[in-house]
Amino acid sequence: MRETNSLPRHIAVIMDGNGRWAKKRGLPRTEGHKQGAEVFRRICRYASDLGIEYLSFYAFSTENWKRSAQEVDAIMDLLRHYLAEMEEREDENKEGGYRIRFLGAREGMPQDIVRLMDEVEERSADKTRMFVNLCVNYGGRDEIVRAARTLAERVQAGTLQPQDITERLLSDALYTAGQPDPDLVIRPSGEFRLSNFLIWQSAYAEFWYDDVLWPDFTPADLDRAIEAYQNRDRRFGNAK
């Protein structure tokens, strides 16, 4: 039995490999994204049952706009469908106890999707069993730039002195303000990159990589990642 007190509080996941999964099967890339969305639901339920407090998923990056218009449109339609489904499954969502937050820039996103995001966040605001962050139109560097601008505006307004800016103040200006940093970052698909995902917050995270493509990712794979995390000695720069 896994010791609850040794579980990571916050797991961040780069949902990678949807397109390659579809290509291997001779399917359109959009089918990979659909299957990936189903895996997202499954992993949320399983992680909640394990007692994970925070889950963050990299769903759509600021760089993903460079993909073909057909693929971007398909991803946006899938997001619309998922958000609308959340409304239809409100009783199930209440039982799950997920507090949903969307991290990323709302500018440039379709307005109907932004409205649905706002509604989902509002309806789940009182849930406390597990916090689920969906990073949409998200980039780690962009997030830090926005936080720096927020602090610069406070300096300009005279409410903050430059010498008083600390790591904590900058952290509190990020999308993840008030949340613990990720303990474990998971990237399936065989890639070994952070890809601009939670780059400030992941400074001391443990990383777990595997060749499995995201649409094939299972609760057993999550178990393997957690077990690898539990077997590591986290020193945070301290010599032992």
Domain that holds residue 133: 8-139+181-230
Confidence (pLDDT) at 102: 96
**What confidence score (pLDDT) does residue 159 get?**
97
CA dihedral angle for residue 179, residue 180, residue 184, residue 187, rounded to 10 degrees:
30
Q: Report yes or no on 70 lying in a domain.
A: yes
Please write the tens of the pLDDT for every residue from 110-131.
Answer: 999 999 999 999 999 999 899 9
Residue 231: pLDDT above 70?
yes
* 188 domain residue, yes or no: yes
At residue 87, the pLDDT reads 66
12-54 pLDDT per residue, tens: 999 998 889 999 999 998 898 889 989 999 999 999 999 999 9
Tell me how crowded residue 164 is: count the other CB atoms within 10 A of its CB.
Answer: 10
Residue 116 lies in a domain: yes
Token output for 77: 């339609």
- Please report whether residue 191 resides in a domain: yes
Average pLDDT over residues 151-166: 97
Question: pLDDT tens digits, residue range 171-184?
Answer: 999 999 999 999 99
State how beta strands 98-103 and 130-138 pair: parallel
Q: Is residue 20 part of a domain?
A: yes
Q: Is residue 85 part of a domain?
A: yes
Say whether pLDDT at 218 is over 90: yes
Q: Are 132 and 98 in contact (CB under 8 A)?
A: yes
Res 71: pLDDT: 87
pLDDT digits (tens, 9 = 90+) for 83-111: 887 766 666 656 668 899 999 999 989 99
pLDDT at residue 1, as a whole number:
36
Q: Supply the residues annotated as catalytic.
A: 16, 64
- CATH number of residue 215's parent domain: 3.40.1180.10
Quote the number of domains for the chain. 1
Contact assessment for residue 151 and residue 160, using Cβ atoms and an 8 Å cutoff: yes
Strand partners, 18: none
**Token pair belonging to 159:** 């409410």
Taking all residues of the chain, what is their mean pLDDT, rounded to a whole number? 91
- Residue closest to 148 by CA, chosen among 204, 196, 101, 200: 200
Is residue 239 in a domain? no
Could you tell me the pTM of the whole model? 0.91
Percent of the chain scoring above 70 in pLDDT: 91
User: Per the domain annotation, does 89 fall within a domain?
Assistant: yes
